């Protein structure tokens, strides 16, 4: 018990007991058999999907660990995976969906790893950026071989890549613009929370500059960055395999490269201001499967529901436990009441 507590970073006995209760409940549900599962979906399929979802989370957690290591913070693998699961959970509590998930996740990483807020936010931003770049690359490769793919839609991928590269080249100029833009919602939040003093635009810009400097430090470590890209790619493939298995379980055969291609594009659904992009991601995935893979709406909906259950809903309780174990209560409180304080 003590060894496990030390590895996870001081998890108390009560919290470990809570994890044990959840594990026991999972065993009971698994032993009960496919009572409520749709026809054609068995417990083995669900178990495999959950395992693939865990691989995807674990790979991104290890990628976060690699970025933090470059920034001077050493974190164990198990703790890094727990931190990433916790950021997924806390991100769902952030207002305005994906738009606020990054700053909130930065708060949690800072609290859980004793790292400065700017470095923590930079680590989160870096991992998100790598996920986006790897996802777009896999989308281009996966959809490139599809006879159903619209060439005009495929052209959007390299255009996005060029725009992102151009933005990075003029990042110094964009920092000032970003500081002025970010200062507006921060001041609005401070007005809602009377005890908080609105930060100046210069203070916000300084924080943005420090985040960009941390990202630059990661970019100047090509070996570590390559490792981060590799883990993110493996995680993306695992997530795509989970969706492919869900499609197969509902009786729809779709080529794996096509699934690998449409999955990253569904990330646009996370921009919907809802917990974890709920409804937005599902709608995007269903639409992409219908338009690119020619899947009918009913089986596409069933497969997407299975996929989201395995990769989003099922891991949320584990993420909640990880949040409590890693001192996420303070981060949640700060996220709800004064995200702006971290930018002051």
String of DSSP letters for 124-173: HHHHHHHHHHHHHHHHHHHHHT-TT--HHHHHHHHHHHHHHHHHHHTHHH
> Above 60 in pLDDT, residue 33?
no
Q: How confident is the model at residue 183 (pLDDT cuts 50, 70, 90)?
A: low
Between 14 and 152, the more confident residue is 152
Q: What percent of the chain has pLDDT over 70?
A: 66
CB 239 within 8 A of CB 263: yes
Q: How far apart are CA 50 and CA 34, in angstroms?
A: 15
Mean pLDDT score, 107-135: 85
CA distance 328 to 343: 19
| Banded pLDDT at 229 (limits 50, 70, 90) | very high
Question: What is the percentage of the chain residues whose pLDDT exceeds 90?
Answer: 24
Higher pLDDT, 225 or 192: 225
- Residue 227 CA to residue 62 CA, distance in Å, equals 9
**CB atoms closer than 10 angstroms to residue 205:** 20
pLDDT at residue 306, as a whole number: 92
Phi, then psi, of 76 in degrees rounded to 5: -70, 155
Q: In this predicted structure, which of 205-214, 237-246, 248-257, 288-297 has the lowest mean pLDDT?
A: 205-214
CA 57 to chain centre: 8
Q: Is the pLDDT of residue 15 over 90?
A: no
Residue 243, domain member (yes or no): yes
Residue 124 lies in a domain: yes
pLDDT higher than threshold 60 for residue 339: no
Examine the pLDDT at 16 and tell me if it is beyond 60. no
Burial tier of 300 (Cβ tally within 10 Å: 0-12, 13-18, 19+): buried
Q: How far is residue 217's CA from residue 135's CA, in Å, rounded to a whole number?
A: 23
Per the domain annotation, does 92 fall within a domain?
Answer: yes
Q: What is the pLDDT of residue 341?
A: 42
Q: Which of 191-200, 245-254, 330-339 has the lowest mean pLDDT?
A: 330-339
> Which of 34-38, 54-58, 142-146, 160-164 comes out lowest in average pLDDT?
34-38
> The whole model's pTM is what?
0.75
**What pLDDT was estimated at residue 179?**
67
pLDDT of 25 above 50? no
Q: What is the mean pLDDT of residues 21-46?
A: 56
Q: So what's the pLDDT on residue 62?
A: 96
Residue 32, pLDDT score: 40
Report the SS3 class of residue 37: coil
Q: Which of 57-66, 87-96, 144-153, 331-340 is least confident? A: 331-340
Both tokens assigned to 232: 């993110």
CB atoms within 10 A of CB 44: 10
Contact, 255 vs 239, CB < 8 A? no
Is pLDDT of 2 > 60?
no
Q: Would 64 be classed as within a structural domain?
A: yes
Contact 323, 84 (CB under 8 A): no
For the chain, the domain total comes to 1
- Average predicted confidence (pLDDT) for the chain: 75
Residue 20 inside a domain? The answer is: no
Q: Could you tell me if residue 168 is inside a domain?
A: yes
Instruction: Report yes or no on 320 lying in a domain.
Output: yes
Q: Retrieve residue 230's tokens.
A: 């590799």
Domain that holds residue 74: 44-343
In a domain, 28, yes or no: no
149-168: average pLDDT: 64
């Amino acid at each position: 018990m003590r060894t496990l507590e030390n590895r996870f970073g001081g998890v108390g006995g009560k919290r470990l007991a809570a994890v044990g209760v959840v594990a026991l409940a999972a065993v009971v549900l698994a032993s009960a058999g496919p009572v409520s599962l749709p026809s054609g979906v068995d417990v083995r399929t669900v178990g495999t999907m959950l395992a693939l979802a865990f691989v995807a989370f674990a790979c991104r957690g290890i990628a976060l660990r690699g970025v933090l290591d470059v920034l001077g913070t050493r974190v164990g693998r198990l703790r890094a995976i727990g931190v990433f699961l916790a950021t997924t959970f806390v991100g769902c509590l952030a207002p305005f969906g994906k738009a606020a998930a990054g700053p909130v996740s930065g708060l949690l990483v800072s609290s859980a790893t004793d790292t400065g807020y700017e470095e923590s936010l930079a680590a989160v931003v870096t991992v998100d950026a790598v996920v986006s770049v790897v996802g777009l690359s896999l989308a281009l490769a996966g959809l490139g071989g599809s006879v159903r793919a619209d060439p005009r839609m495929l052209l959007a991928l390299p255009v996005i890549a060029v725009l992102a590269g151009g933005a990075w080249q003029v990042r110094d100029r964009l920092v000032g613009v970003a500081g002025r833009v970010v200062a507006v919602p921060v001041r609005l939040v401070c007005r809602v929370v009377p005890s908080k003093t609105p930060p100046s635009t210069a203070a916000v810009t300084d924080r943005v500059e420090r985040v960009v400097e941390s990202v630059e430090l990661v970019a100047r470590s090509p070996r570590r960055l390559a490792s981060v890209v590799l883990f993110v790619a493996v995680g993306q493939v695992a997530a795509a395999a989970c969706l492919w298995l869900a499609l197969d379980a509902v009786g729809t055969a779709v080529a794996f490269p096509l699934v690998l291609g449409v999955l990253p594009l569904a990330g646009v659904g996370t921009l919907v201001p809802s917990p974890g992009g709920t409804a937005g991601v599902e709608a995007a995935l269903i639409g992409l499967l219908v338009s690119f893979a020619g899947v009918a709406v009913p089986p596409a909906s069933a497969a997407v529901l299975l996929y989201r259950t395995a990769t989003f809903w099922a891991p949320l309780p584990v993420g909640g436990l990880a949040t409590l174990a890693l001192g996420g209560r303070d981060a949640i409180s700060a996220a709800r009441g004064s995200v702006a304080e971290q930018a002051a």
